[in-house]
Structure 1
Amino acid sequence: MCATENGGHQGPEPAQVPASAADPTQGPDGPTPPDRRRLLQGGLVLGAAAALTLAPISFAAAAAPGESTRTVTGTLPTGAADFVYLPVEVPSGVREIAVSYSYDRPAVPAGTPGNSCDIGIFDERGTELGGQGFRGWSGGFRTEFAISRGAATPGYLPGPVRAGTWHVVLGPYQVAPQGLTYQVQVTLRFGDPGPAFTPNYPAERARGRGRAWYRGDCHLHTVYSDGRRLPEEVAAGARAAGLDFIVSTDHNTSASHGIWGPLAGPDLLIVTGEEVTTRNGHWLALGLPPGEWVDWRYRARDDAHPRFARQVHRAGGLVVPAHPYCPYVACQWKFGYQDADAVEVWNGPWTYDDESALDAWDAQLAQSLRQGRGWLPAMGNSDAHSVPQVIGSPHNVVLADDLTRDLVLAGLRSGRSWLAESAAVQLDLTATGHGRQAGIGERLTVPADAPVDVRLQVAGVPNGTVRLLTDEGQLHQESLGADGSGTVLWRTTASLASYVRAEVRHPLPDGGPGRGNTMGAALPWGPMAALTNPIVLTAERG
């Protein structure tokens, strides 16, 4: 997307910063390796965590209402820093700061990434990692934004435009071999700041049914990041999908938190959160305090992730790696799972990425139980951005004591949940033995060789395939009839299985083959309709 120029009256002639000054890494024959001394001489400073700071631009204070614009151009070489900061010296009396940007997209050879550059801004409180200066981020979704005391472009935080050094931040996500030539235009508008914005946060409780199974989608986007749905459209879609709760997870910003209040209600709990989009994977911060933001400007090598996981945990929220096997640039998960509370194994329509995530989760589950450690629950979410992506497909069905933020998060944290493609799918899984019974996410302790009867009830999956799996793999399979409902019974012992979980699959599309395996035969099942977290089976000692 190319930047758009604002029309109307401009202030003084924009000051052009030549590319050679904005980018001293450009030599007569193209990009040359960065040299710290030359960067400093050119007005650039290499910062921590792969950051680069450009020479600042400044504006004169204005005695009367009006506006003033400055424009900066430059070129970033391949291998540029993750974040490039443009300091803007903002004088007093500014009512609005507006920014637009553009960058070139030269042709690249097949298989070579082309240019892609994100944008955001920090105010006079600074750019410190995890600091207070964050004022907004739109990634690569917008080419311009504006911030004033009473309003801001979606993705950005309304509030005072105070005097001091602000920083426009560029995020060169991908840089072509020819480099990335950019232009940033900053406009300050002077005058009365106007009334302040008043956020309206959603309530932390809705009208529940006491202890019950509640349905919710914990990964959703709006126009406040890179979605195309308005928040009111997301709320309406959640209700249409039969959901009891949703979590707002726009990328790298808390800007939407303050508008959810009127869209929640007795029938829909809305929880505030964020999708933290780093260069080494994305994760969901679920249950953030309204208005709280989580920083994303780090890689796995920076060892900063545990700090921000602790931030979420202190607030009672959950840390959930999202789509860990997504093949797109910077999406694959590289931080490990030691700080996670759950993992998203199902993201949108079922794909091979989800198969990989499910297989990896199942292997981790078996290992954790074998070593006597806590296990990581599975989650499924739609990650819906726009039509035709379906809100609530899939979603989580969680057992909670009531429909509140804390109780829903507690149910997800404990793994008392199963995953469904839609509200049309119904499921119940129990294990009974030695006069005791356990459900999904619970533990059944019995004598090692005592019979354990597993019972699965399913509805809503016509001609589906039911699979029961343990740490040995699939040990039972049955087919459902055309009405999509049935009851499956199977017996095991705690000496044979450390857990049991269920999957319900759709028929193969058009009767086609499933995934092949090393045994040669195609696997006889299709896309996922539902899957459960495990019931853990433990043999009594002594």
Structure 2
Amino acid sequence: MASSLRTKLRIATTVLGARGFWDALAGRFLWQPQIPSPPLVPTKSETEREGVGQSEERAEAGGSVRGSATWLRGALHVHTCTYSDGAGTIEEVMDAAKAAGVDFVLLTDHNTMRPKADGLEERYAGQTPFLIVGDEITVKGGAFLLALDMPGEFEFAPGHDPQVAIDAILAVGGLPLVSLPDDMKHPWDAWDATGCEGLEALNLSTVAREHINLLSLAWLLPLWKSKGELAVLRALCTRPDASLASWDRLLALGKKQIGLGALDAHALMKIGKKKHPIPSYENSFRAVTTHILATPTPAAIHAAIRAGHCYFAYDCLGELALEFRSLPPPGGGQGVGIMGDEAPVGATLTATGPETALLRLYKAGEGVVAAGKGTLHYRAESPGAYRVEAYLVGAQRGPFFVGARPWGFTNPIYVV
């Protein structure tokens, strides 16, 4: 699709203005204050839970999370040359996923569900990694929708109005999500459309493209030559401010919205007029994954995504085990909840991560309401959507964390 003058000007501004370079630089030196969590007086329900393990809490938490569910890492939003514009075949993609150590791949070739109709999910069923097939639909104006949990016979021509596409996905029981909300060429602007159930709150391709500029290349090319492609991807790990802001705006309106970490992996990147085989599928799969609490089947993955039982992370910065739970308020009430679940007003929200991580609790529409190192606790005395961001920090100087880099992002707990 040919780019409009407006699109070309937006790309030129991004490249010449070095957007992305400055936020990457700031991430090395920015001092982030630790906002103390309000002191808590343990309630009876919290005291009774001392000594209860994570597996028991998970078994109690949230409708669909039971028994054999485990945290599975998925590479989401992947393209192939077999069905659209990727560089590799299905076999090459799955080999790369196995080498990267992910549990499953979500294939989203453009405007087609043929991979599912051709039996590819069945071919890889019961294997690690296994395969899930979705669709990336191009809407009017060039923006994109992810269509998940779709039947193999689904056919839909590109170029329709976004609302028409969303309605078509919902009509067959699918899950519509905004793809590439802040794409440089075709950002999503149909925020008034109804029925969309979430978005790619982090997209590796968008983050990477924001860093392709004159200033950053002087830094990134020597890094690539000396330490390799994955080191460059680590250098690009920045907070996706615009996408997170869009997510929070929707959440602040009282909408339940799923957030995912995605790749848009093609193993190709166009720089200028040339296409380069970067980043590789394997390194993309090592860079960003979505962690989903489910059993290893496509149906269970789709159910967990719908429930918001997932978080997403820059795994190239290191393994991140991130928990976010709610404990019932004084007087009891419903049991333990996890990310994606509802909790009553007065519930205690608890997040745990690596001891060295800075955890920040965001309330949609208000910003950061609590923070802590390795763990945080917060009694939610007002309704809203609360989510956690984890940061990898270089050092701590008194109440400040130096060189905080975004690491992981949970889905919200909805206090009602």
Change (3 A) 1:112 1:245: closer
Change (3 A) 1:218 1:113: closer
Change (3 A) 1:249 1:493: closer
Name the counterpart of 2:343. 444
Query: Which whole-Å deviations, capped at 9, do the CAs of 1:439-474 have from their partners, x for residues lacking one?
Result: 11111114xxx4x43322213xx8542211124211
Residue identity (%): 24
Name the counterpart of 1:367. 253
Which residue type is aligned with residue 180 of structure 2?
H
Tell whether 2:241 aligns with 1:384: no
Name the counterpart of 1:180. none
Distance in 2 (alpha carbons) for counterparts of 1:392 and 1:113: 27
User: Which structure has more RCO (C-alpha within 8 Å, separation ≥ 6)?
Assistant: 2
Which residue type is aligned with residue 375 of structure 1?
K
Q: Superposed, which structure 2 residues align to 1:122-271 within 5 Å?
A: 210-223=68-81, 224-257=83-116, 258=118, 260=120, 261-271=122-132
Alpha carbons 1:323, 1:354 under 8 Å: kept: no
Change (3 A) 1:275 1:527: farther
Change (3 A) 1:209 1:490: closer
Tell whether 2:167 aligns with 1:310: yes
Give the deviation of 1:356 after TM superposition.
Answer: 0.4
Change (3 A) 1:306 1:332: closer
Alpha carbons 1:305, 1:335 under 8 Å: kept: no
Name the counterpart of 2:384. 498
Alpha carbons 1:444, 1:536 under 8 Å: kept: yes
1:418 to 306, 311, 321: 311
Aligned residue pairs, count = 304
1:532 to 400, 410, 416: 410
Name the counterpart of 2:322. 427
Change (3 A) 1:225 1:384: same
Alpha carbons 2:197, 2:256 under 8 Å: kept: no
TM-score w.r.t. the length of structure 2 is 0.64
Give the deviation of 1:524 after TM superposition.
Answer: 6.0
In angstroms, what is the RMSD of aligned CA positions?
3.5
Give the deviation of 1:489 after TM superposition.
Answer: 2.8
Change (3 A) 1:337 1:413: farther
Instruction: Give the match's secondary structure for 1:426.
Output: coil
2:202 to 346, 350, 353: 346
Which residue type is aligned with residue 311 of structure 2?
W
**Structure with the larger strand share:** 1
Distance in 1 (alpha carbons) for counterparts of 2:69 and 2:144: 32
Distance in 2 (alpha carbons) for counterparts of 1:524 and 1:323: 30
Give the deviation of 1:263 after TM superposition.
Answer: 4.3
Change (3 A) 1:280 1:228: closer
Distance in 1 (alpha carbons) for counterparts of 2:10 and 2:368: 41
Distance in 2 (alpha carbons) for counterparts of 1:295 and 1:218: 23
Distance in 2 (alpha carbons) for counterparts of 1:325 and 1:318: 20
Query: Which whole-Å deviations, capped at 9, do the CAs of 1:91-112 have from their partners, x for residues lacking one?
Result: xxxxxxxxxxxxxxxxxxx959
Instruction: Give the match's secondary structure for 2:408.
Output: strand
**Structure with the larger helix share:** 2
Alpha carbons 1:316, 1:406 under 8 Å: kept: no
Which residue type is aligned with residue 346 of structure 1?
L
Which residue type is aligned with residue 425 of structure 1?
L
Name the counterpart of 2:220. none
Distance in 2 (alpha carbons) for counterparts of 1:112 and 1:380: 24
Name the counterpart of 1:281. 143
Give the deviation of 1:525 after TM superposition.
Answer: 5.8
